[in-house]
Chains A and B, each alone.
Chain A
Amino acid sequence: MAPDISPIILLLASIFTSNILLANFLGMCSFITISKDLKSANGLGLAVILVMTVTTVINYAVYNYILVFFHIEYLRFIVFIIVIAAVVQMLEMIIERLSPALYMALGIFLPLITVNCAILGVSLFMQIRSYNFVQTVVYGLGSGVGWWLAILALAAIRQKVEKAPVPAGLKGPGITLIIIGLMAMAFIGFSGMLNVQ
């Protein structure tokens, strides 16, 4: 049974209070490596929004109409990953043809997203929480937007930190992890405002 949550609440929750990055800590690798400058962070963020929304919806259909029907729900990990890889491949080809400018902007980020665990995580949460179709769309989109906002925020902070006197041993990923920790603590402030778990 789908939980009784209004789509608007779910959208806000997935963007802010249950931010996939800062509340669930998924998709950290690209979050740390691609957040050095705003432009790349923006490109990756937009690509994540697109891929996350599309794959969550497709995985919703695959799970509810194929896996459940054949009683092989336990294979969802493998099937979700296959679907994600294939969808990324298709999106890459279509975007290259339709909008070379967007393709150039996304660059290598699009294929990189195949191995972004946030994408798989959102598909799995969708299934574990048994969202209905509308909720799935909203949740996929919201999580993507949340990921995008979080990486933009981190990239902006890192550009400022660039000029700060960081101790040598903490430069790069070290200080970034500390920043992420502080951001996550700030996000704890949201907890309890909207409960979607």
Chain B
Amino acid sequence: MGLDFLTAPLIVASISVILSVIISVIDMIVNNYGEVKLSINSGKKILTVKGGSSLLSTLGEQDIFLPSACGGRATCGVCKIKVKSDVGPHLPTELPFISKEEMQENIRLSCQIKVKTDLELEIPEELFAIQKYSTTVTSIRDLTPDIKEIKCTLKDSQQIDFRAGQYAQFVVPPYGKIKQETQRAYSIASPPGKKSELDFIVRLVPGGIATTYVFTVLKEGDTLDIIAPLGDFQLHGEHEDMLCIAGGSGMAPIQAMLFDMFEKKINGRDIYYFFGVATSKDMFYLELFRDLEKKWPVFHFVPVIAAPDSGSGWKGETGLVTQPLEKYLNDKLPEDKPKQGYLCGSPGMIDACIKVLTTHGIAEDSIFYDKFA
């Protein structure tokens, strides 16, 4: 009996195996919720799905993409959805994101509730337009040392409908040391008139997972998956003068809006575009917009370089973007005409611009912005 020493490990191992088999069997029996019906917007759409997973991923499998920045870890609180059926009280993981009013309306975090029984849901119609598109990267171009322009074409001659100002989520596959799929939002820079080609402007964020991927891994000809269209930054009203203010890669949504208006020949309102960058080498698309200014009489382009190189011969505005903004508001713009602000850039820039605009009598509900951190 020289093999006695094997008894103990074998027995412990068998006990563990038996227990895990029992757990798996129970899991299969207990967590089999069978087919479950999801009725969306009082029966407008009825989906038959397999129960057992979270509502967010169940809907995702049915190609309904609720916005979710964190990917189902209950840290962003974006994937809210109205559930009309009773799915029990709110979970502790949901509470930080749900206000009292939302609680009464039974708004839930879709990543935290499990699909177990038939559910009645309410999903805003426009979310059905959100889809995952597969694209081919056709061009990657350096605009400045840390900003790249990405052009991509939708595969299989697909087309996308979106509003100028909306954004797309890049689906970044695992690469290098990054083991998990990541999603990051980038504004669409091309106007919605082009339905199968999309442009993006991506600034390198040091240490950023998605921007590092775009700058170091992504090549022309590669496939890039995006989820779009998302967001509610868009054109409002018809007659008010527009003050567009962007910093650096905040160019993207403003560019899309301006070219969209130009293509649609909207000439009833004056548009001032203040575009601010830090130094001479950070300036881009100068010719593009000067050209647009010549072709489109209502459009006025004001590029601003905070600290231009002394030898560059820069004749335009200098300083922070708020300084020429103030100057134009004081001297060059008709005081009596109603105005709107459209801002996109860093939180600091946006807050400073909102301050300037409100002190010049522009109401806060006429200021629209897309803040990126």
Cα distance A3–B7 in the bound complex, in angstroms: 30
The answer to whether residues A66 and B23 also contact, given A97-B30, A100-B88 and a CB cut-off of 8 A, is no
Q: Is the CB of A86 within 8 A of B12?
A: no
Instruction: Let me know if A172 is at the binding interface, CB within 8 A.
Output: no
Q: Is the CB of A94 within 8 A of B20?
A: no
Identify A72's interface contact among B11, B16, B22, B116, CB under 8 A. B11
Cα distance A104–B8 in the bound complex, in angstroms: 39
Residues of A within 8 Å of B15, CB to CB, are: 62, 66, 79, 82-83
Q: Is the CB of A86 within 8 A of B26?
A: no
Cα distance A101–B30 in the bound complex, in angstroms: 16
Write the chain A residue with the least CB distance to B93.
A108
Residues of B within 8 Å of A79, CB to CB, are: 12, 15
The answer to whether residues A75 and B12 also contact, given A86-B23, A93-B30 and a CB cut-off of 8 A, is yes
CB distance from B361 to the nearest CB of A (A): 52
Size range of the chain B interface in the assembly: 10 to 19
Cα distance A75–B30 in the bound complex, in angstroms: 32
List residues 1-18 of chain B with CB under 8 A from any CB of chain A: 7-8, 11-12, 15-16
Cα distance A100–B30 in the bound complex, in angstroms: 13
Q: Provide the A45-79 mask, 1 if CB < 8 A to any CB of B, else 0.
A: 00000000000000000100011001110010011
Size range of the chain A interface in the assembly: 20 to 34
Q: Is the CB of B8 within 8 A of A94?
A: no
Q: Is the CB of A97 within 8 A of B31?
A: yes
Cα distance A78–B11 in the bound complex, in angstroms: 12
Residues of B within 8 Å of A83, CB to CB, are: 15, 19
Question: Count the A-B residue pairs with Cβ separation under 8 angstroms: how many?
Answer: 49
Residues of A within 8 Å of B116, CB to CB, are: 100
The answer to whether residues A70 and B7 also contact, given A79-B12, A97-B30 and a CB cut-off of 8 A, is yes
Instruction: Let me know if B89 is at the binding interface, CB within 8 A.
Output: yes
Residues of B within 8 Å of A162, CB to CB, are: none
List residues 66-118 of chain B with CB under 8 A from any CB of chain A: 88-89, 92, 116
Q: Is the CB of B12 within 8 A of A78?
A: yes
Instruction: Let me know if B27 is at the binding interface, CB within 8 A.
Output: yes
Cα distance A8–B23 in the bound complex, in angstroms: 34
Cα distance A83–B26 in the bound complex, in angstroms: 15
Q: Is the CB of B23 within 8 A of A90?
A: yes
Cα distance A90–B29 in the bound complex, in angstroms: 11
Residues of B within 8 Å of A62, CB to CB, are: 15
Q: Is the CB of B89 within 8 A of A104?
A: yes
Q: Which of A86, A94, A104 has the most CB of B within 10 A?
A: A86
Cα distance A97–B51 in the bound complex, in angstroms: 12
Instruction: Let me know if A107 is at the binding interface, CB within 8 A.
Output: yes
CB distance from A2 to the nearest CB of B (A): 24
Identify A86's interface contact among B8, B11, B19, B31, CB under 8 A. B19
Instruction: Let me know if A159 is at the binding interface, CB within 8 A.
Output: no
Cα distance A32–B88 in the bound complex, in angstroms: 29
Instruction: Let me know if A24 is at the binding interface, CB within 8 A.
Output: no
Residues of B within 8 Å of A66, CB to CB, are: 11, 15
Q: Is the CB of A93 within 8 A of B26?
A: yes
Q: Provide the B25-37 mask, 1 if CB < 8 A to any CB of A, else 0.
A: 0110011000000
Q: Is the CB of B88 within 8 A of A104?
A: yes
Q: Is the CB of B11 within 8 A of A107?
A: no
Q: Is the CB of B7 within 8 A of A72?
A: yes
CB distance from B28 to the nearest CB of A (A): 10
Q: Is the CB of B23 within 8 A of A75?
A: no
Cα distance A101–B20 in the bound complex, in angstroms: 26
Residues of B within 8 Å of A72, CB to CB, are: 7-8, 11-12
Cα distance A82–B18 in the bound complex, in angstroms: 11
Residues of A within 8 Å of B7, CB to CB, are: 70-72
CB distance from B293 to the nearest CB of A (A): 61
Q: Is the CB of A107 within 8 A of B30?
A: no
Residues of A within 8 Å of B19, CB to CB, are: 82-83, 86
Closest 9 CB pairs of A and B: A86-B19, A97-B30, A72-B8, A93-B30, A90-B26, A70-B11, A70-B7, A89-B23, A93-B26
> What would 23 A/B residue contacts be, using CB atoms closer than 8 Å?
A66-B15, A70-B8, A70-B11, A72-B11, A72-B12, A75-B8, A82-B12, A82-B15, A82-B19, A83-B15, A86-B19, A86-B20, A90-B22, A90-B23, A93-B23, A93-B26, A93-B30, A94-B30, A97-B31, A100-B116, A101-B88, A104-B88, A108-B92
